[in-house]
Amino acid sequence: MAVTTTPVDDGAIDGFGEGLHGELLRPEDPNYDETRAVWNGMIDRRPALIARARGISDVIAAVDFAREHDMVLAIRGAGHNIAGNAVCDDGLMLDLSAMRSVQVDPEEKTARVEPGATLADVDHETQAFGLATPLGINSTTGVAGLTLGGGFGWLTRRYGMTVDSLRSVDVVTADGKLRHANEDENEDLFWGVRGGGGNFGVVTAFEFDLHEVGPEVLTGMVVYHGADAPDVLRHVRDFNETAPDESAVWMVLRKAPPLPFLPEEVHGEDVLVVVPFYAGDMAAGEDVLAPIREYGEPIADVVSPHQYAEFQQAFDPLLEPGARNYWKSHNFSTLSDEAIETAIEYAQELPSPQSEIFFAQLGGAMKRVPADATAYPHRDAEYAMNVHTRWEDPADDDRCIAWARAFFDAMAPYATGGVYMNFISEDEGEENLAYGTNQQRLAEVKAAYDPENLFRMNQNVKPAT
Ligand SMILES: Cc1cc2nc3c(=O)[nH]c(=O)nc-3n(C[C@H](O)[C@H](O)[C@H](O)COP(=O)(O)OP(=O)(O)OC[C@H]3O[C@@H](n4cnc5c(N)ncnc54)[C@H](O)[C@@H]3O)c2cc1C
């Protein structure tokens, strides 16, 4: 990544800092290290300056300053991006994490969300009215990065990708102007932000449509011995083929964590965790999910009614920040027997106790949106697989990354060829697979709003020439 090309004099930096409502941090400041830290412990970058925005005027000032001084600009929401794009070496990091208000209009069923909000911030406010918008499955993730990449979670089959519930955005573009974008105004910008990442400007507000959800949903876990995984995976796959949109059943191959409902002798052993989720009438959900819960001989079944907002935090303890992470992904239109066998083969050689292979069931409402309706193109995906490699010791880097790459390659013959932009770990040219058939139009939108590629700390779209 390019570094600062023009040394910036201290006077200009002082003037920039004095004009901000929020703080301007330099490497010698006491909270500099804590502010530059991001979720993936592999990322250790040192920006020359960190601007902690308190409002839109700070965002405009930061964009203008980076452009005028030819500085690399990194944008941070909640810092969960696996590639660590929220932080740069030498340039300006724009930290939006203090801008995290969520305003719900229960009558209109909309929420206006600031760019530093986490999923927990949104779920907390929307669930007060029995409402929700489809987000991800870990409550500390940032709404901004997740939405800009497409966004999927438990409600995706019922209500679509996160971007399918996006009604409008406010964006500070590379020229420092604040633009409103929706289906009728700056339509091309609105199309681009719905899956094209942070390529077009700094989003200062997201307006979402809300849907009635819960507050109780039927969900939990059904845990099987690793030896039963081939049979159970095929069973869940067959069940999923005709399941209603209210139902989403995900599958995770991993070593058993020390969960209180699992017998101690199972801890650390290979298991298959099946996570059924039903957002709808509770009695109907019991009937729909019965074939999942009545199958085989699970070690534990802890499926029951849960508060939706609480279940959104269920996996947080397994996803604490600071560990080393290398992720890859594939999309599948179906899970063939061969794909299942290959996944199990690699699951038996997981490189660390925290690593996992998960299959998120997609399809449903998200599949009924045309591939060119938004920048997010993978409407053919019935499953997204995350090769979630996670470990602690830097000495294990090469071994863990090699496992992830080998597994990714081994699954490629069964996959659609599309990958999830938000699960890309580093710049390996995977953007082409992430943007797919929408790449050319993205390049045209980029040329219209950011012809000099100021916003390039991301899964980058080069401006069309
Ligand atoms: C533990 C964990 C669980 C996850 N679970 C899911 C899941 O269930 N579903 C899912 O879809 N994804 C999931 N993800 C992936 C997640 O969507 C991405 O990591 C996403 O980038 C996180 O957004 P953030 O705001 O926290 O990231 P940040 O690292 O803060 O930002 C990521 C990038 O997004 C861009 N960006 C951020 N804010 C703005 C803005 N306001 N304007 C313009 N550009 C901006 C920038 O390019 C930035 O570098 C998960 C990730 C983790 C680490």
Mean pLDDT of 282-301: 97
Does residue 220 contact residue 241 with C-beta atoms inside 8 Å?
no
Half-sphere exposure (CA, 13 Å, Cβ side) for 117?
25
The residue whose C-alpha atom lies closest to atom 16 belonging to ligand 1 is 146
| Dist CA 250 CA 267 (whole Å) | 21
What pLDDT is recorded for position 152?
Answer: 98
Give the C-alpha distances (Å, rounded to integers) separating 143 from 1, 32, 35, 133, 140.
25, 23, 18, 11, 9
What pLDDT is recorded for position 430?
Answer: 84
Q: What is the DSSP letter of 163?
A: G
Q: Structure tokens of 426?
A: 């580093």
Residue 3 confidence (pLDDT) above 70: no
Return phi, psi of residue 435, to 5°: -90, -20
| Dist CA 312 CA 119 (whole Å) | 8
What pLDDT is recorded for position 426?
Answer: 78
**Which ligand 1 atom is at minimum distance from the Cα of 149?**
17
CATH no. of 102-213+436-449 = 3.30.465.10
> Which pLDDT tens digit goes with each residue over 423-440?
998 766 788 899 999 999
Q: Structure tokens of 137?
A: 């499955």
The residue whose C-alpha atom lies closest to atom 19 belonging to ligand 1 is 81
Mean pLDDT of 257-276: 95
Using CB atoms within 10 Å of the CB of residue 388, give its burial: 0 to 12 exposed, 13 to 18 middle, 19+ buried: buried
Beta strands 383-391 and 356-361 are antiparallel
| Residue spans of alpha helices (H) in 128-245 | 143-149, 156-159, 187-193, 229-241
Ligand 1 surroundings by CB, under 6 angstroms: 38-39, 75-82, 85-86, 96, 115, 136-138, 141-142, 144-146, 148-149, 151-153, 197-198, 202-203, 319, 422, 457-458
Nearest to 213 by CA among 138, 146, 153: 153
Architecture of the domain delimited by 10-95: 2-Layer Sandwich (3.30)
**Which ligand 1 atom is at minimum distance from the Cα of 97?**
30
Longest Cα pair distance anywhere in the chain, in angstroms? 70
> Which pLDDT tens digit goes with each residue over 77-106?
999 999 999 999 999 999 999 999 999 999
Contacts of 108 (CB under 8 A, 6+ apart): none
Mean pLDDT of 22-30: 97
Place of tokens 């000032």: 61
Domain spans in the chain, listed from the N-terminal domain onward: 10-95, 102-213+436-449, 216-423
Residue 5 confidence (pLDDT) above 70: no
How many helices (DSSP H) and strands (DSSP E) are in the chain?
A: 14, 20
| Dist CA 18 CA 45 (whole Å) | 25
Mean pLDDT of 40-51: 97
Asked whether this chain's domains 10-95 and 102-213+436-449 adopt the same fold, the reply is: no
What pLDDT is recorded for position 428?
Answer: 67
Nearest to 330 by CA among 213, 400, 419: 419
| Dist CA 75 CA 146 (whole Å) | 13
Mean pLDDT of 143-150: 98
Total residues found in the chain within this entry: 465
- The Å distance, Cα 335 to ligand 1 centre, comes to 27
What rounded mean pLDDT belongs to the chain? 96
Query: How many C-beta atoms surround the C-beta of residue 11 within 10 A?
Result: 8
Using CB atoms within 10 Å of the CB of residue 118, give its burial: 0 to 12 exposed, 13 to 18 middle, 19+ buried: buried
* Segment among 209-213, 229-233, 431-435, 452-456 with least mean pLDDT: 431-435
Does residue 189 contact residue 171 with C-beta atoms inside 8 Å?
yes
**Which ligand 1 atom is at minimum distance from the Cα of 325?**
53
Using CB atoms within 10 Å of the CB of residue 393, give its burial: 0 to 12 exposed, 13 to 18 middle, 19+ buried: exposed
What pLDDT is recorded for position 103?
Answer: 98
Query: How many C-beta atoms surround the C-beta of residue 130 within 10 A?
Result: 15
What pLDDT is recorded for position 1?
Answer: 45
| Dist CA 52 CA 94 (whole Å) | 6
Does residue 97 contact residue 78 with C-beta atoms inside 8 Å?
yes
**Which ligand 1 atom is at minimum distance from the Cα of 137?**
8
Radius of gyration in angstroms for the set of CA atoms belonging to the chain, rounded to a whole number: 22
Residue 7 confidence (pLDDT) above 90: no
**Which ligand 1 atom is at minimum distance from the Cα of 143?**
25
| Dist CA 322 CA 292 (whole Å) | 35
Q: What is the DSSP letter of 359?
A: E
- The Å distance, Cα 370 to ligand 1 centre, comes to 24
**pTM, to two decimals:** 0.97
Bigger pLDDT: 431 vs 371: 371
Residue 206 confidence (pLDDT) above 50: yes
Q: Structure tokens of 332?
A: 């599948």
Write out the H or E segment, with its range, that includes residue 334: none
What pLDDT is recorded for position 9?
Answer: 87
* Residue type (1 letter), 44: D
| Dist CA 362 CA 448 (whole Å) | 33
Q: What is the DSSP letter of 118?
A: B
Place of tokens 């950011």: 450
Percent of the chain topping pLDDT 70: 98
Nearest to 350 by CA among 395, 406, 423: 406
Q: What's the topology of domain 216-423? A: Vanillyl-alcohol Oxidase; Chain A, domain 3 (3.40.462)
What pLDDT is recorded for position 170?
Answer: 98
Percent of the chain topping pLDDT 90: 96
| Dist CA 417 CA 363 (whole Å) | 16
* Residue type (1 letter), 159: Y
Q: Structure tokens of 415?
A: 């996959």
